Chains A and B, each alone.
Chain A
Amino acid sequence: DTGVSQDPRHKITKRGQNVTFRCDPISEHNRLYWYRQTLGQGPEFLTYFQNEAQLEKSRLLSDRFSAERPKGSFSTLEIQRTEQGDSAMYLCASSFSVSGQETQYFGPGTRLLVL
């Protein structure tokens, strides 16, 4: 069990640029979640996948955000035309859902700074 991994760990970009983050879940976990965390706050849900299907998106996820999980394994989160308000820690978590009881395991996060 290698845990959830995320890449890159840090990203600095200029406003208006596009960025893409990758998350590799624990193998055989069928659910993958993305959260965003800003300083002094708890993580906020963005979206989640069950296998390759994106089942729910938060209202926090503007049209500039898109996420994919093409083969039900790794996932990418892309932010287009970044804004300074996008600066945050982006967290990925995975779980194996059985009978509505699941435990999410978190990756180290990608810290984004938009200048």
Chain B
Amino acid sequence: AQSVSQHNHHVILSEAASLELGCNYSYGGTVNLFWYVQYPGQHLQLLLKYFSGDPLVKGIKGFEAEFIKSKFSFNLRKPSVQWSDTAEYFCAVNLGSSNTGKLIFGQGTTLQVKP
């Protein structure tokens, strides 16, 4: 079965530190890739997405992610985090070759940014 793995379950950083959250998926075909964020007390919001084209995608709030097909990875990065980035981050995959848009999510990574 297809799965999504997020390696870091809990990350603690100081403000201005750089962030990289890992995401790997297990599926050999075409995929659409997403990062969602859930701020405390809020609902899931889309950070960025990849369908095709340039494997380096930019999202909101200075986040970016790089799709590396050979590594089945879609890691999320931000050069300098802020306290307001404290949230839970979810990587999700949709099998692009299927007609269903259902998302397969990773377990999530809780990011805590210390002021």
Contacts and interface: CB of A to CB of B under 8 A. Distances in A.
Partners in one complex: yes
Interface of A: 31, 33, 35, 40-45, 48, 55-56, 91, 93, 95, 97, 100-109
Given A91-B44, A100-B96, A101-B51, A41 B101 contact: no
A28 B100 CA distance: 18
B99 interface: yes
B36 interface: yes
Nearest to A107: B43
Contacts of B44: 43, 91, 93, 106
A45 B107 contact: no
10 contacts: A33-B101, A33-B102, A35-B103, A42-B4, A43-B90, A56-B102, A91-B44, A102-B94, A107-B43, A108-B43
Given A103-B46, A108-B43, A42 B100 contact: no
B46 A55 contact: no
Interface of B: 4, 32, 34, 36, 42-46, 49, 51, 90, 92, 94, 96, 99-108
Contacts of B99: 55, 100
Contacts of A91: 43-44
B101 to A, nearest CB: 5
Contacts of A101: 32, 51
Contact of A42 (B46, B49, B96, B106): B106
A105 B108 contact: no
A8 to B, nearest CB: 15
Contacts of B36: 106
A104 B101 contact: yes
B105 A44 contact: yes
A100 B94 CA distance: 10
A105 B43 CA distance: 10
Nearest to A41: B107
Contact of A43 (B51, B94, B101, B103): B103
Contact of A48 (B100, B104, B105, B108): B100
A104 B33 CA distance: 12
B53 to A, nearest CB: 11
